Structure 1
Amino acid sequence: MKIKNYFILLVCLINCFTAQSQLFLMYDGLNPNDNYFDLPKYSLEYNQKIKEKLYEGLEEDFHIRMLVRPSFDAEYIFQVDRDIRNYEADSFVARFQKTKSNLWYAEENYQKVNIKKYQAHINKEDAELLTNAFVKLLKTTRYERSDFDIYDGTNYLLSAFEYGPGIVSGNVKSPRDNEIKAVVDVVENLINQTKSKRNIKLSEEAKSTLKNIIKHIEKNPTSADYELMSRIVKVIENNKESYCSKLTESNRLHVEDALQVIQDPKQFAYYNFDKSTLKNFIEGIEEEFVEFNTFDEDSKNEMLKNGYEIEKEENIKNNIFQLILKEFD
């Protein structure tokens, strides 16, 4: 199973004079859908164009729906709903609709943009499996810290109907999370089938992918998982202050930030806890910390000559992340 925790460690900005690193976090999962009343005017107008043009003729009672809004290319939507025209309880239809060109750039001429429409039947088993995967994935939707704003890219709005809560949805832009990417790929394959076939179906590989996603999201932390997290938090609490007090200012801020993320229980214990994921995450932080504090002699001499601080070798070699990683042994 892929490494997932909705976070990517990006230690990527290096000051060319101090060569100090900084921890940046990017939330990799689904964000809650934008509130209609909080949207700026330009977003509201764009969404109204999409609703008017792209949603025309779509059933409002759907099982799953994926709206795709690229930065420059044509927008499109895919949904699965019951074929109410036949009044058959087990009859499902897939609908795919795509604009001829991007509605954002059409501006006042958006009404002249043509819409291509396709539909095909999909069997009950596949429709329900796809819906179940959507619902499970959408339950991971949450507000989360992210140190990067992405303005360009392709926005995916995933929606599903679940008995009880009703319609649930989540946004992601240019997804990097492997499970979200996998679900998008499955839908894209169904879209390609819809454009040329009257009956579409999930491949065995797609079924296996969706079942694995459902299984992984349904996984609950074990007592051993909670015990590991408890030990890690204890190591941090017992060593954080003394270790960070020895560091240079920039490294202190970096390490304190990283430790806060590591010991936050909702990051790992409550959301699809995976021991190997957590270990890889901490190893990544430790590796980057060492790398960005390691210089050749010429660089060291030049930095000292210009009055810049260099981290003590002892603090790099015996860093707090190594103490934490010992808890995995």
Structure 2
Amino acid sequence: MKTKAYFILLVCLMNYFSAQSQLFLMYDGLNPNENYFDLPKYSLEYNQKIKEKLFDGLGEDFHVRMLVRPSFDAEYIFQVDRDNKNYEAESFVVRYQKTESNLWYAKENYKKINIRKYQARINKEDAELLTNAFVKLVETTRYERNDFITTDGTNYLLSAFEYGVGVVSGNVQSPRDNEIKAVVDVVENLINQTKSKRNIKLSEEANSILTNIIKQIEKNPTSADYEQMSRIVKIIENNKESYCSKLTESNRLHVEDALQVIQDPKQFAYYNFDKSTLKNFIEGIEEEFVEFNTFDEDSKNEMLKNGHEIEKEENIKNNIFQLILKEFD
């Protein structure tokens, strides 16, 4: 009987700490690349392996490049170049190169790893559309606080050449942002074509996806957008202090961070002034807040018995996010 009681307590505490540890804000967009001189030695060595092996034969004057670095699987790179041999015809070449095994774990044997190389042509219109989509997406790159650090997963480095600016790039670990995932999916489809065809092209669906991403990122705010954001900021200013003062410490810190993100002027730029996306973002925070503060009675009793704080029911049911979401009705 005592063993069963200890097991129940252990499960309850595991659920509690799991909930508290996951109650974090996560930035879904692209992050700036780390500076070469700030990289630790192991990163420099790994990057050198990639540059030496995976970049072999690739030109420096690319239009689009996507470097993919999985935690355990083989690394690969996708690149679109202008065909210098046929420059006047404005022809473009797609190059896809992949290692036979993961370079990170190869250590000193990495020189023995073979690289599979594929090449195909792509028409000017598709190459320019893909480049434009990459440029627009990478322009959203910014430094952002992220309370959730991931070490596993797949890292995507997206780079493009922007006229008048030069090479722009940003990276993301296991992307969750819909636009980034959509662009990655489009590239993966082109990669699959490159493996078996000499001439590849964007599908009608891919063309539509890239065109829509460009339009969304280029979309300018309206006066109604500014007015709505002003009302949201006012709600936060008028209610933040009083509401947060009632919360447990861990919840207070989380809610304060979430509210800062919502009212940060940079957020509207990131969400492209899309009301539905901003609403979904706030709804997600609200749902997460409720989910990680909801426990069954047995769990509550065990947690209280062991001196753990539980959020008051009224603070969960009448949270500040619900007040903000009324602005979208």
| Percent of aligned pairs sharing the same letter | 89
2:23–2:289 contact (8 Å) kept in structure 1: no
SS in 1 for 2:181: helix
Q: Which one-letter code corresponds to 2:180 in the other structure?
A: I
SS in 1 for 2:67: strand
1:99 is displaced (CA, Å) by 1.7
Q: Which one-letter code corresponds to 2:57 in the other structure?
A: G
1:162 is displaced (CA, Å) by 0.8
**1:99 maps to which residue?**
99
Over 3 Å counting, the alpha-carbon distance change for 1:298 and 1:186 in structure 2 is: closer
Instruction: Give the Cα–Cα distance (whole angstroms) in 2 for the partners of residues 17 and 133 of structure 1.
Output: 41
1:78–1:95 contact (8 Å) kept in structure 2: yes
Over 3 Å counting, the alpha-carbon distance change for 1:39 and 1:21 in structure 2 is: closer
SS in 2 for 1:25: coil
Over 3 Å counting, the alpha-carbon distance change for 1:278 and 1:61 in structure 2 is: same
**1:324 maps to which residue?**
324
Query: Within the alignment, does 1:126 sit opposite 2:137 as a pair?
Result: no
Over 3 Å counting, the alpha-carbon distance change for 1:247 and 1:215 in structure 2 is: same
SS in 2 for 1:85: helix
Instruction: Give the Cα–Cα distance (whole angstroms) in 2 for the partners of residues 66 and 51 of structure 1.
Output: 14
Query: Within the alignment, does 1:39 sit opposite 2:43 as a pair?
Result: no
The answer to which of 88-97 and 268-277 deviates more is: 268-277
Instruction: Give the Cα–Cα distance (whole angstroms) in 2 for the partners of residues 19 and 102 of structure 1.
Output: 34
SS in 2 for 1:16: helix
**2:218 maps to which residue?**
218
Any idea what the Cα deviations from partners look like across 1:85-134, whole Å, max 9, x if unmatched? 13334111111112222222222222222222221111111111111111
**2:236 maps to which residue?**
236
SS in 2 for 1:103: coil
Q: Which one-letter code corresponds to 2:204 in the other structure?
A: E
1:70–1:154 contact (8 Å) kept in structure 2: yes
1:244 is displaced (CA, Å) by 2.3
2:67–2:158 contact (8 Å) kept in structure 1: yes
**1:214-293 aligned within 5 A:** 214-269=214-269, 271-293=271-293
1:207 is displaced (CA, Å) by 0.7
Over 3 Å counting, the alpha-carbon distance change for 1:279 and 1:42 in structure 2 is: same
Over 3 Å counting, the alpha-carbon distance change for 1:298 and 1:57 in structure 2 is: closer
Over 3 Å counting, the alpha-carbon distance change for 1:161 and 1:296 in structure 2 is: closer
Q: Which one-letter code corresponds to 1:255 in the other structure?
A: V
1:14–1:21 contact (8 Å) kept in structure 2: no
**2:86 maps to which residue?**
86
Query: Within the alignment, does 1:67 sit opposite 2:67 as a pair?
Result: yes
Query: Within the alignment, does 1:139 sit opposite 2:155 as a pair?
Result: no
Could you state the TM-score of these two structures normalised by the residue count of structure 1? Answer: 0.87
SS in 2 for 1:34: coil
Instruction: Give the Cα–Cα distance (whole angstroms) in 2 for the partners of residues 104 and 286 of structure 1.
Output: 39
1:161 is displaced (CA, Å) by 0.6
Q: Which one-letter code corresponds to 1:92 in the other structure?
A: F
Any idea what the Cα deviations from partners look like across 1:138-171, whole Å, max 9, x if unmatched? 1011111111222122211111111111011111
Could you state the TM-score of these two structures normalised by the residue count of structure 2? Answer: 0.87
Instruction: Give the Cα–Cα distance (whole angstroms) in 1 for the partners of residues 64 and 292 of structure 2.
Output: 45
Aligned residues: 317
Query: Within the alignment, does 1:169 sit opposite 2:180 as a pair?
Result: no
Instruction: Give the Cα–Cα distance (whole angstroms) in 2 for the partners of residues 103 and 270 of structure 1.
Output: 34
Q: Which one-letter code corresponds to 2:161 in the other structure?
A: F
Instruction: Give the Cα–Cα distance (whole angstroms) in 1 for the partners of residues 277 and 77 of structure 2.
Output: 33
Q: Which one-letter code corresponds to 1:110 in the other structure?
A: Y
Structure 2 unaligned regions, length at least 5: 1-12
SS in 2 for 1:86: helix
